[in-house]
Amino acid sequence: MAGGLIPIDEARAFVLQRCPASLAVSADTLPGRFPASVLGAVVATDVVSAEDVPPFANTAVDGYAVRASDVVGASTQTPVTLKVTGEIAAGAAAIVIVESGCAVRIMTGAPMPAGADCVVMVEDTEFDGDRSVLDGTQTVRIMKAAKTGDGVRAVGDDVRIGDVVFAAGTAITPAVAAVLASINARTALVHHRPRVAVLSTGDELIDDGSTLAPGQIRESNRSMLVGLVDGCGAQAVDHGIVRDDEAVLETVLRRAANECDAIVTSGGVSMGDYDVVKAVLSRIADMRWMQIAIKPAKPFAFGLLTNDRGVAVPVFGLPGNPVSSLVSFELLARPALRRMAGHPEAAWDRPVVAAIADQPLKRGRDGKVHYQRVVARFAADGRLHVESVRAQASHQLAATALANAIAVVPDGDGVPAGGEVPVILLVT
């Protein structure tokens, strides 16, 4: 690469090789459900069900449990009248037996009574008699035929004993947690969710809401990065703003390495003049300072800081400009943190899809891949279309904040209107 720039793929490979998946830990459940702390964690081994779901045959609808042979040919013109001999609510035992010529009123989720093999929805019936007391004189007119199995959830219809419900590498979403509860999976072996220290450095930064003094700016990267870390399945630990003092910064970094599994900093990674972050990390960690052939986010640093337990903790040094920091995180830190969290390789990165540029995505030739922030939407042709957020400078976060995708524009003259371009979807 010209000018000593390295390809993005080389930088990614260097980082990922040094960020292995965490050890798996057993996650205890609370009675009937998984604790919120486990949501987002990744299953480390296949989850095999020890129970059927549902555990008994039950009705999928409110209606009447009947014998299919009794309602052959039933219609609004030729209804079939059956004697109502009982009622079963959800949670009750099915102690009644459905004889030929009879029906049992049944509520959604209630167990199927012996003798019945189907359920007719209540909307397709007309009840005759006193609903408050079933004394054998009530009848129901069935106005729609049913066949065996209609309206019935069979035993194991969702999950059977011995089924691999979730393969290793599955992230525990709220729906996955619900299934684990439904099969009485009281524990599951999951990967540890990495704790990630997030900090910003610089005497010019303030975040206390006070009036800006000359030369001061409001800290914003940390707020963004905490959200990005949490959003990728890790756990952000906010270490605040650290002033430009080498001793203080070293203390904070060493504490972060002892308390957390990774560290994310922003600022102080550019080539050139002396910077406190570079000075400290170069001295206490095994760092590689990179210039990557991308725009924005060319400067990037990565290394390992050994903590007091002898564990090498990854350090991600992101550029200070907010847009560069976001892009750098998406391309390099996010996939590494997801690997550490136990996600399979296919899930390290956000989805990349082909889109149509509704306007030219202009750029000049400079030997770099450009990552332009865009707004993506599906159009009437069924294709994903993108438009630039216009303001593409690395400090213009307000415009980038509205983007829901990043267009990957290779070195060259850009993408013409109507041209196809790969985009990274930021909203999945």
Q: Which residues of 60-77 are buried (b: 16+ CB within 10 A; e: fewer)?
A: ebbbbbbbbebbeebeee
Q: Quick one: which of 259, 245, 314 has its CA closest to 285?
A: 314
Average pLDDT over residues 315-338: 96
pLDDT of residue 122: 97
Lowest mean pLDDT among 156-170, 174-188, 275-289: 174-188
pLDDT of residue 381: 95
Domains of the chain: 2-20+193-343 (3.40.980.10), 36-51+157-191 (3.90.105.10), 58-153 (2.170.190.11), 352-425 (2.40.340.10)
Q: Detail the DSSP E strand segments found in 243-298.
A: 262-266, 286-291, 294-295
Cα gap 131→129, rounded to integer Å: 6
**Unique residue bearing structure tokens 């963004």:** 224
Average pLDDT over residues 51-78: 97
Which residues are registered as beta bridge partners of 82?
Answer: 140
Average pLDDT over residues 159-174: 95
Q: What's the pTM?
A: 0.87
pLDDT of residue 348: 97
**Unique residue bearing structure tokens 């200070």:** 320
pLDDT of residue 175: 93
Helical pair 246-259 and 276-284, crossing angle rounded to 10 deg: 50
Evaluate whether 375 touches 386 at the Cβ level (below 8 Å): yes
Which residues are registered as beta bridge partners of 201?
Answer: 242
pLDDT in tens, 349-365: 999 999 999 999 999 99
pLDDT in tens, 362-375: 999 999 999 999 99
Which residue type sits at 384? Answer: L
Angle at 306 between CA 302 and CA 310, to 5 degrees: 145
